[in-house]
Amino acid sequence: MMIARDIMNEDVITVSIPGSRDEVLDVLKEHGISGVPVLKDGTLVGIITRKDILNNPEEEQIALLMTRNPIVVDPNVDITEVVEVLIKSNIRRIPVVEDSKLVGIITVADVVKAMAEMDIDKRAGDFISEYTCPVWEETPLNVIVEIMRLGRSEALPVLDSRGKLSGIIDEKGIINLISLEDLVEKSDYSQAGGDDEWTWEGLRDYTRKYFEVTVIRLPDEPVKNVMSEAVSVYPQVSVVECAKKMVKTKIDYLAVITPEENLLGLLFDRNLIRAIL
């Protein structure tokens, strides 16, 4: 059986603190990834993902966005233990640490790639996500982001006016559309006179404070203008074939449809890897 060392990626892309959200966005876009380990003086201190950024649009500092003390694995553990940790903890990546040193990282995609070479006699229909939230193709992008945030969804199937699948929108697509805009805001506030405030009645000191903020902007467009083409499979297709299709197309999910092309749900890679267990 495979161990973590066999499937881990030794060329780990990282960011460091102190650092900003803008730097992380640049790294995620440049490398087409969804999250990276965070180092401080060469030591692993956290993980930051695109979901952290989308869920906290007003925060700019990596240290405040990241998940601290991330779950890690030893390079010699069995692949089934890696899968169990990914599923139980609902995470997409695990840093591999040996002797307190970061030596690699394992993502769900790495497990799927290994799975494509396995002999597993199970079907796609058995691993469809329990919760799939479709959206109408005319839905504005800012509403899509809120649906993703509230539903904790990484991808949403997009339906046309006939209720048929017309595309997919995912976090990666949203991240690639984000623009950062610097604004100058102003705030009026008053300063009272301390313990003897009553003696200062009518003598408030009004102060106007200016401060610069960076906000996230999305195009003012319906989702149909930016969605991706859906890659689909039938429910009876084997999980191994699904893994091969995910590896080939470099996507994290497949739409499962009926022969009549009605949507049954989404098959996410994190659900697919359950077949290993």
Domains in the chain, start-ordered, CATH in brackets?
A: 4-115 (3.10.580.10), 124-177+219-276 (3.10.580.10), 179-217 (no CATH)
pLDDT attached to residue 181: 53
pLDDT at 203: 38
Task: Give pLDDT, residue 76.
Answer: 95
Q: Which ranges of the chain have pLDDT less than 70? A: 179-216
Write out the two tokens for 238.
């084997």
pTM of the complete model: 0.72
Strands 135-136 and 155-159: parallel
The encoded tokens of residue 30 equal 């440049």
Residue 226 identity: V
Predicted local confidence at residue 124, as pLDDT = 95
Note the pLDDT of residue 117.
93
The pLDDT value recorded for residue 197 is 43
pLDDT digits 0-9 by tens, 125-178? 999 987 888 999 999 988 998 898 888 888 999 999 999 999 999 887 887 777
Q: What pLDDT is attached to residue 211?
A: 41
